[in-house]
Amino acid sequence: MDGDFDEFLHVPARLTVVALLAPASWSEFGFIRDAVGTSDSALSKQLSALAAEGYVEIRKRPGGGARRTLARLTPRGRTAFAAHAAALERIAAAARAPYPADPDV
């Protein structure tokens, strides 16, 4: 397996969240939930796991009567995602490589 392949990030729910956060600064919880198409509790669980790993930073702010939860990738999270995405690209490229002809066939 490629050394940059991150099994923690490869969990589909986490990979989707991290990919969504990669091009953004801070993103609101509701936006992430709707874009990913998951429940509040499932997203909260994934964000907590990503935060515990140091990949995501979470902030809670008051906003218009309700508390807003914001999330963003940390520098460590950005580096891990970039390395994991590059590993996936290498794995896919190897799978697409032409299969050498078997001289015995």
Residues contacting 48, CB < 8 A, separation 6+: 58
CATH of the domain at 68: 1.10.10.10
Q: Which residue has the tokens 């963003």?
A: 72
pTM for the whole structure: 0.85
Q: How far apart are alpha carbons 67 and 58 in whole angstroms?
A: 13
Q: How far apart are alpha carbons 1 and 14 in whole angstroms?
A: 20
Please report whether residue 102 resides in a domain: no
Please report whether residue 54 resides in a domain: yes
| Three-state secondary structure call for residue 55 | coil
Give me the tens of pLDDT residue by residue for the chain, a chain 105 residues long.
778 899 999 999 999 999 999 999 999 999 999 999 999 999 999 999 999 999 999 999 887 777 899 999 999 999 999 999 999 999 999 889 888 777 776
DSSP 5: -
Contact 20, 34 (CB under 8 A): no
What is the total count of domains within the chain?
Answer: 1
